[in-house]
Amino acid sequence: MEKNYGLQPPISFNFKSLAGLIVIFIIWQGGTLLWLDLMNALVPATRSGLPSLITLYLSFFFLILGVCIVTRYFFKIRFRAFLFEGKRPNYRKFANYFSLYVMALILYLLVDIAVHPQAFTLHFNPLPWLGVLLVTAPLILIQSAAEEILFRGYMYRMFRSLRGGVFWSILLTSLTFALIHGLNPEMLNYGIFGPLYYLQGAFFGIFAIVISYSAFQFFKQKRNRL
């Protein structure tokens, strides 16, 4: 195994890690179905509209739970060490990476609007928009964090041990991300552009991280020399 593996502790690509991935999906999807059925039965309002969206976002806790269980009991890795590599959380770095990722997605959206202006119609009512934003923004962070824990945490570690290292890790996790999201029924209405949208989003996100990390290391070394 390479000395500079990437994320630590490592998870090798083998039968155990593949079985763990299957267990994660079973916990995630099984828990989600039970959660949605329970909430729809107890609170009928969660069957549609904003309550339905909130209920769906909360179901991503089952994805985090699945990764936590597999890393803890399959690989004896404490979840905190899995998330932060045994170090203290660097919230400043997280904010930088998240900002770059959002900027990449905004850039993609602006290009999409410029190329296909007829596909967009602006309807903006500030008060309802602000209310929805305050409710859904934290939930979107939960969803995003859960997916990053799976794709850039567990699966990246798993594919990182393959020959080709970083390249295969980025490519395979991005392709999986694009297939899972791009093959949703609503995205298939756009044909091949549905999966391509998410594939580009995945690549933009990981390249933003790589570029920002390289810049961070460069300025850190330059500051140490002064």
What dihedral angle (degrees, nearest 10) is formed by the CA atoms of 22, 176, 61, 44? -100
8: left (phi over 0), alpha (psi -120 to 50) or beta: beta
pLDDT at residue 77 in the model: 93
Q: What angle do the packed helices 61-73 and 126-148 form, to 10 degrees?
A: 20
pLDDT at residue 159 in the model: 87
Structure confidence at residue 194 as a pLDDT band (50, 70, 90): low
C-alpha to C-alpha distance for 66 and 28, rounded to whole angstroms? 6
Burial (Cβ within 10 Å: 0-12, 13-18, ≥19) of residue 51: middle
In the chain, the amino acid numbered 88 is R
pLDDT at residue 18 in the model: 94
Contact 84, 8 (CB under 8 A): no
Q: pLDDT tens digits, residue range 54-112?
A: 999 999 999 999 999 999 999 999 998 898 887 777 788 778 777 877 787 788 788 88
Q: pLDDT tens digits, residue range 127-175?
A: 877 887 888 888 888 998 899 899 888 998 888 877 766 777 877 887 7
pLDDT at residue 164 in the model: 66
C-alpha to C-alpha distance for 20 and 26, rounded to whole angstroms? 10
**Does the structure show a pLDDT above 80 at 209?**
no
pLDDT at residue 3 in the model: 46
- Residue holding tokens 């920002």? 212
Q: pLDDT tens digits, residue range 9-34?
A: 889 899 999 999 999 999 999 999 99
Mean pLDDT, range 26-55, rounded to an integer? 93
> At residue 32, what are phi and psi to the nearest 5 degrees?
-65, -45
3-state helix, strand, coil in the chain (%, to 5): 80, 0, 20
The token pair that represents 201 in the structure block: 């989003």
Structure confidence at residue 121 as a pLDDT band (50, 70, 90): confident
